[in-house]
Amino acid sequence: MINVSVMGGSGYAGGELLRLLTSHPSCELQAVTSRRYAGEPLFRVHPNLRGVTSLKFQKEDPETIISKSDFVFTALPHGKSIEVVPQLADRGLKVIDLAADFRLKDPAAYKEYYGFSHPHPDLLEKSVYGLPELHRNDIKKAQLVAVPGCMSTAAILSLAPIVSDGLIDPNKIIIDTKIGSSGAGVNLTLASHHSERAEGVRPYKVSGHRHVAEVEQEIGYLVGKGLRVSFTPHAVNMIRGILSTSHTFPNNPIEPRDVFKAYRSKFESEPFVRIVSDKKGLYGLPNPKVTVGTNYCDIGFEIDAHANRLVLFSALDNLTKGAAGEAVQCFNIISNLDEKTGLNFAGMHP
């Protein structure tokens, strides 16, 4: 068994991580920290864990975590992982960070998108962007993995094969994303009130969203140069899930077989990517409803010949494949376990 701990376990992503780790056959959960709920049982915050574990939240004490753990998952707020990850890494622990603190390779991007100067650019160089479908070999050898953002994961997975095969103009990518309320995190704001969010669709951060930096970084690697994407998220009336719609423009006339070929060549052996482009049935294109609670990302497309447009769709659960599930997937890879361990389950329907 591998001894693991979670720092910052009281948020939504932390709770999803605990749900997965408590049933993982190769994990022994040793400690879970929370500044606010220290001393309280986990089920006080995450009621779905009642009867599953007797663990209690404890204070954030890196030395205690280090003494108990081989692996540490950090699910702290953005900007807080920076305070503890260097100490954990210096002591030889393997760390999987669910925050944004080590996702970007360019230190200057943190000033632009997160408003602070990154104090550990050396760790940015060493960290691995935790998207297994693109960086599996690097993840295997990593000490520090930075789990991608949820909307970034959805957009990048749908775009990567298409960009890699040169099917579209990489300088004309327009990403429209719908996300459920859990994507805003557990802390209350005016925008998260049910009476404000329900029965509406609210665009927010229409330009300059933080996940732009991740998409441009990863797609830029694939084309071998810097690029710019357009990205606008919308808050919609669901709790969990993301639907990402990318409007792209082919370089030459394309047929469906060209798109299928691109996706098959990249994702045919991927355990958590499903190609959903079916002319029959209610779920002929990706719908986040059927990915809730799973580590799947469903990808589909339509060709709009009239406007010379290739529309790409991807759907996933923002807390699972978009956060905790992806973290566990990376953990499995580093630990030389079957990648599907603790994640191989279907969603619910209806």
* Annotated catalytic residue within 27, 150, 297, 330: 150
Cβ distance 3 to 71 under 8 Å? yes
Burial class from Cβ neighbours inside 10 Å (0-12, 13-18, 19+) for residue 29 reads buried
Give 152-179 as a DSSP string: HHHHHHHHHHHHHTT-EEEEEEEEEEEE
Known active-site residue 297? no
- Terminal Cα-to-Cα distance of the chain (whole angstroms): 36
Exposure class string for 57-96: b at 16+ Cβ within 10 A, else e: bbebebeebbeebbbbbbbbebebbbebbbebbeeebbbb
CA–CA separation, 317 vs 286, rounded Å?
Answer: 12
Task: Name 97's bridge partners.
Answer: 74, 146
Give 21-60 as a DSSP string: HTT-TTEEEEEEE-TTTTTSBHHHH-GGGTTT---BEE--
Give the C-alpha distances (Å, rounded to integers) separating 87 from 46, 61, 93, 123, 323.
Answer: 28, 11, 9, 11, 23
Residues 6+ apart with CB under 8 A from 177: 151, 154, 155, 231, 232, 233, 234, 242, 243, 244, 245
The structure tokens listed for 66 are: 């280090």
Residues 6+ apart with CB under 8 A from 133: 157, 160, 266, 267, 270, 273
Cβ distance 248 to 173 under 8 Å? yes
So which residues are the catalytic ones? Answer: 150
